[in-house]
Amino acid sequence: MKIPIIALQNISKSFSHVYALDGVSLHVNSGEVVGLIGDNGAGKSTLINVLAGVYTPDFGTIQLKNQTVTDWNASRSRQSGIETVFQDRALALQQTIV
């Protein structure tokens, strides 16, 4: 059995008492490339922002190589090799290549 390089388990995140994520789990193994597809409002951006360390989950755990991480943030996410590609270049005007 492969140990995921990153695992989000039972992640929940709400905004003003409305759940954007409710019990979501994601496991990514070494060498995998993962894309998220879903309807508007399905929680894709929220999940990416939790993964990128922008949002702190209200509930659930994040594991790196089978070790639970308690201090997950944007800096730790980047150090772990997680990068975000923006759909809209307007979000990163100072960059010449996105």
Position 55 scores a pLDDT of: 94
Domain that holds residue 23: 6-92
Query: Three-class SS of residue 74?
Result: helix
CATH number at residue 14: 3.40.50.300
Tell me which residue of 74, 62, 59 sits closest to 21, measured CA to CA: 59
Position 34 scores a pLDDT of: 85
Which residues 6+ apart lie within 8 Å of 68 measured at CB? 61, 62
**Please, are residues 54 and 74 in contact by the beta-carbon 8 Å criterion?**
yes
Position 47 scores a pLDDT of: 94
Query: Residue 86 domain-assigned?
Result: yes
Domains contained in the chain, number:
1
pLDDT tens over the chain, length 98 residues: 688 899 999 999 999 999 999 999 999 998 888 888 999 999 999 999 999 999 999 999 999 999 999 899 988 998 888 887 766 655 555 655 54
Query: Residue 43 domain-assigned?
Result: yes
